[in-house]
Amino acid sequence: MDLYKPSRFIILGTARTGSNFLRGLLNSHSQITAFGELFRDADKIGWDMPIDEEISKSSNLLSLRKQDPARFLERVFNMFAPLARVIGFKIFYYHAESNNALLQYLQRQTELKVIHLKRQNTLRQPGHFLLIDGPTQRGSRGSHFRCSSNTMNVSRNFNGLPRHQKNLTATFVTIHITR
């Protein structure tokens, strides 16, 4: 039986809302561990911080995350419980909405704290969907890059943002931080 169970939190939002800055601030406290996007990539766990190599390259953890996100998170929380009084991770809207088992698990966590980051000026947000094609020429001031975007992706992501925010705000009791 655990004598001490650390507080748990998620940083919910989307790109370009200051989530990495907030994680950095939280991680500067000795009793807080704030992981990156644990569910970002299919083929690796997005710890986004120094982790013991045996843990970071564990195929067992990756398999568990794919098969049972709830058990994966419980294992992560339990592994790091001796090191921190507060443990959490960053999750973007599409991580939660595309993984029903993960979303259901998070909804059942009555003690889970949610820091919901929203960008006040959403017109500035779609810029991160631009793709840099690569250097077009080398000049005296360095390389010049040509940017392009798939307008359908930018439009879909931009137009879906209010729906994501509304759906997941209704899902969680949240602490709102507006940037």
pLDDT at 68: 96
Burial (CB < 10 A; 0-12, 13-18, 19+), residue 21, is exposed
Measuring CA to CA, how many Å separate 130 from each of 16, 92, 155, 159? 13, 18, 12, 16
Asked if residue 147 has pLDDT above 70, the reply is no
- Contact between 129 and 154 under an 8 Å Cβ cutoff? The reply is yes
Rounded CA-CA distance 165/93 in Å is 8
Asked if residue 6 has pLDDT above 70, the reply is yes
pLDDT at 165: 73
Q: For residue 154, name the pLDDT band (cuts at 50, 70, 90).
A: low
pTM: 0.74
Rounded CA-CA distance 47/95 in Å is 15
Domain boundary assignment for the chain: 7-178
Given CATH 3.40.50.300, say whether it is the number of domain 7-178.
yes
Establish how many alpha carbons lie within 13 A of residue 57's alpha carbon, considering only the half-sphere containing its beta carbon.
Answer: 3
Dihedrals φ, ψ of 164, to 5°?
-60, -50
pLDDT at 172: 65
Residue 142 corresponds to which tokens in the numbers above?
A: 């360095």
Q: For residue 87, name the pLDDT band (cuts at 50, 70, 90).
A: very high
Three-state DSSP state, 49: coil
Rounded CA-CA distance 64/73 in Å is 9
**Count of residues making up the chain:** 179
